[in-house]
Amino acid sequence: MTVTRIGEAVRRKEDHRFITGKGQYTDDIFRPRQTHAYFLRSPHAHARIRRLDTAEAAAMPGVVGILTGKDLAEDKIGDLICGWMIHDIHGQPMKMGSHPALAKEKVRYVGDHVAVVIAERLDQARDAAEAIEVDYEVLPAVADLATATDATAALVHDEIAGNLAFEWHLGHKAMTDHAFERAHHVTRLDIVNNRLVPNPMEPRAAIGEYDSGNDSFTLWTTSQNPHVARLVLSAFVGIAPEHKLRVIAPDVGGGFGSKIFIYAEETVCAWASKRVGRPVKWTSDRSEAFLSDAHGRDHITTAELALDERGKITALRVKTRANMGAYLSTFASSIPTYLYATLLSGQYDIPAIHAAVEAVYTTTAPVDAYRGAGRPEATFVVERLAEAAAREIGMDPADFRKKNFIRKFPHQTPVIMTYDIGNYRASLDKAMEIADVKGFNRRRRQSAREGKLRGLGYSCYIEACGIAPSQAVGSLGAGVGLWESAEVRVNPTGNVEVLTGSHSHGQGHETTFAQLVSDRLGIPIEQVTVVHGDTDKVQFGMGTYGSRSGAVGMSAIVKALDKVEAKAKKIASHLLEAAEADIEFKDGKFSVAGTDRSIDFASVALNAYVAHKFPTSEIEPGLKEGAFYDPVNFTFPAGTHICELEIDPATGRTTICNWTAVDDFGVVINPMIVEGQVHGGIAQGVGQALLEGAAYDRDGQLVTGSFMDYAMPRADDLPSFKMGFTETKCPSNPLGIKGCGEAGAIAAPAAVMNAITDALGTEAVPMPATPQTVWKIARTRAAPRAAE
């Protein structure tokens, strides 16, 4: 039994459970007398409900209850909320359309919730749902983002003119415009950041259970942040007071942001369990997931970069229209604003930036955070511009970046952020070496001889993780603080339970968090258990998203460990009969400085609980400490990804040949887990660039509603990645961690598209660059670059 150190690639403790089928997901839970919910969903993108008749359906076999928006209103259940208030360019609050968990007068997207049928069996619920009579007055769909604000467009929410949730801006407009007037060269790109469906492996699920004896509820659900779910369901939706509502997020099979939000189905299951007096279970099928999980991205952007005569960037100007879908989802408003425009400086020293954003309602599924959440969109804008600008002025894209990199830290950007530390040149240099950029022209000529077009693209991304401090995010409109909590419980026999407000749904917290404790307390990793995901066990926590668990969640654990160590030292000083100041703690042993007298951690723990050998008037018995940690700044992971690919112009098929990722995540706790996070992120980013694209037709029907038409990346779409790390320690948290969860998804799309545009010799290539799209462009290119 040895200690596991920070930095060791130790295998994941949770994997034994997962790969032997012992994971306990929400759908694996069976409550006594549970019923099954089936949601009747709108088949129309936009319609007024003239009449809703459930009488015949209610009499069908097995039906326990049918509930509608009317019942919600009767119980005074509130609307679902958006938890980030944006004030528009005129200082007015954003326009939030009413978002009932079950439709009231109107339905606003295909998949919107009309009624819930609760029955003994799922098939009975479904049969009954098919017997519900709904008389729809079909209204015109607003499916096209570009024309959604036209005067002729129907209104998604009758009271919101022009379908505009808000117009918002960031940066200095006059300064930026002035720089553009004086620019030596301006590069301009029209960019569509394609709409994505998150598709975690486990679909959403919920079981609501009401205990009439205690007048309390339990909700098992697929949540990345069970405490936030409880807070929203209590304080805003009004299911039950917080102390009467327990939310449990057991094993969760991936989220990618889509399980942050508080959705209609989970809300209804909790509420309905009291209505019907029995537990109510719902598990989304894949088709429902496509229709009703919050989608990601979906921006239309015009972006411009101003350069001086030496190729130095003088200004960046961006206009973005962001699709919000039919309703403002839980954090939707923050994504195309504070999580997007604040990163538009990229890794570059840009004196003036201005971003104007319109957030627009359409009759499509709500759009909210998806892995990266605003930051992939920002990196895509900046990195596509950088590559295109370098090409236009005839400068090597890597040299162009080196010329414009920020070199001095801390660096204040014109868009709020203060970058604390980084070394962008180091990661670019290392990536270029690993990718053998020097040999690229030779490889390109070889491809040309075989009739193929080869391209190379860079993406020097930056992200902001661990959104904080709470005071700052509050001033920007966040409805919550973004600290994290931890509790370290040392048991009398010296093993440890760590309770954390971070939630693991694939990130490997049970290993990395235990690794931290093992390293710090000098006890084997096997003697540490990480507890999360239950509001009855963990006091409070903000959950997992935005790559915050390491930087914020682990910092809270460090703070609690500091307190544990301090108290243990006090106890050890009594046991060793020495002054507290003379006690040293190292490798799991408390010793008296300059002597051979020592006592191990487990003995101190036992003594803490038996309390025989120290005065309890001075030191309380027990060894359990909690901490709340609020960071002083965001963290800023950054790095360079290089994509090299080959296009078959005859078919349009793109094959990625080489992928190099050099990331600066600060201190890395477990390199194997971190690499895995980057791998997954790259796969999703490549998915966005080459394969994935959610499409609605003119009537607002989702035409990519299954894996038959929505292309997910598979292993054989990807090469084996070449990875490297550089390290600048994050100065704002005790471990020097920056976060790694989203980097791949942020970096990858721009790297792929920079390589494709390099191969094809045109900047106008939309995502996803499917074979047909690439073929169409390739055949119109008379002299592709490969022939040069």
Residues in Cβ contact with 163 at an 8 Å cutoff, skipping those fewer than 6 apart: 142, 148, 149, 153, 155, 156, 157, 360, 361, 362
φ, ψ dihedrals at 36, nearest 5°: -120, 135
CA–CA distance, 567 with 373 (Å, rounded to integer) = 41
CA–CA distance, 748 with 170 (Å, rounded to integer) = 26
Confirm if 477 and 87 have CB atoms less than 8 A apart: yes
CA–CA distance, 456 with 755 (Å, rounded to integer) = 4
Least Å distance, CB 21 to another protein, is: 16
CA–CA distance, 320 with 318 (Å, rounded to integer) = 6
Least Å distance, CB 771 to another protein, is: 7
Least Å distance, CB 92 to another protein, is: 40
Instruction: Respond yes or no on whether the N-terminal peptide bond of residue 397 is cis (omega within 30° of 0).
Output: no
H-assigned helices in 419-469: 424-434, 440-449
| Cβ closest to another protein, residue 98 vs residue 704 | 704
Least Å distance, CB 449 to another protein, is: 17
| Cβ closest to another protein, residue 234 vs residue 688 | 688
Specify the residue for token string 């339970």: 497
| Cβ closest to another protein, residue 539 vs residue 704 | 704
| Cβ closest to another protein, residue 536 vs residue 709 | 709
| Cβ closest to another protein, residue 82 vs residue 690 | 690
| Cβ closest to another protein, residue 561 vs residue 769 | 769
Token pair in block for residue 434: 């690993």
Residues in Cβ contact with 153 at an 8 Å cutoff, skipping those fewer than 6 apart: 140, 142, 147, 162, 163
Which is nearest to 759 in space by CA: 313, 453, 542?
453
Q: Which residues are bridge partners to 247 per DSSP?
A: 219
How buried is residue 233: exposed, middle or buried, by Cβ count under 10 Å (0-12/13-18/19+)? buried
Angle between the N-to-C axes of helices 743-760 and 671-686, in degrees from 0 to 180, rounded to the nearest 10: 40
Indicate left, alpha or beta for 198 from its phi (over 0: left) and psi (-120 to 50: alpha). alpha
CA–CA distance, 327 with 308 (Å, rounded to integer) = 43
| Cβ closest to another protein, residue 130 vs residue 211 | 130
Token pair in block for residue 535: 């509001």
Least Å distance, CB 117 to another protein, is: 15
CA–CA distance, 640 with 620 (Å, rounded to integer) = 51
| Cβ closest to another protein, residue 67 vs residue 691 | 691
Token pair in block for residue 189: 């790109």
Q: Which residues bind another protein (CB under 8 A)?
A: 123, 126, 287, 650-653, 690-691, 695, 703-704, 707-712, 770-772, 775-776
Least Å distance, CB 648 to another protein, is: 9
Token pair in block for residue 483: 């600290």
| Cβ closest to another protein, residue 631 vs residue 652 | 652
| Cβ closest to another protein, residue 40 vs residue 398 | 40
Which string of DSSP letters, residue by residue, matches 307-326? E-TTS-EEEEEEEEEEEEES
| Cβ closest to another protein, residue 241 vs residue 451 | 451
DSSP strand pairing (418-419 vs 411-412): antiparallel
Least Å distance, CB 712 to another protein, is: 8
| Cβ closest to another protein, residue 397 vs residue 652 | 652
Least Å distance, CB 691 to another protein, is: 6
Confirm if 180 and 306 have CB atoms less than 8 A apart: yes
| Cβ closest to another protein, residue 284 vs residue 635 | 284
Confirm if 509 and 12 have CB atoms less than 8 A apart: no
CA–CA distance, 645 with 434 (Å, rounded to integer) = 16
CA–CA distance, 457 with 440 (Å, rounded to integer) = 11
Specify the residue for token string 């929505």: 710
| Cβ closest to another protein, residue 643 vs residue 691 | 691
Least Å distance, CB 777 to another protein, is: 12
Q: Nearest 5 degrees, angle CA 599-CA 603-CA 605?
A: 120
Please state, in angstroms and as integers, the Cα–Cα distance from residue 271 to each residue in 226, 242, 275, 555, following that order.
16, 14, 7, 36
Least Å distance, CB 454 to another protein, is: 19
Least Å distance, CB 697 to another protein, is: 10
Least Å distance, CB 497 to another protein, is: 39
Least Å distance, CB 451 to another protein, is: 11
Least Å distance, CB 144 to another protein, is: 16
H-assigned helices in 113-225: 122-131, 173-181
Confirm if 638 and 460 have CB atoms less than 8 A apart: yes
Q: Which amino acid is located at 386 in the chain?
A: A
φ, ψ dihedrals at 425, nearest 5°: -60, -40
Least Å distance, CB 247 to another protein, is: 31
Least Å distance, CB 650 to another protein, is: 5
CA–CA distance, 472 with 632 (Å, rounded to integer) = 9
3-state secondary structure of 511: helix
Least Å distance, CB 643 to another protein, is: 18
H-assigned helices in 671-714: 671-686
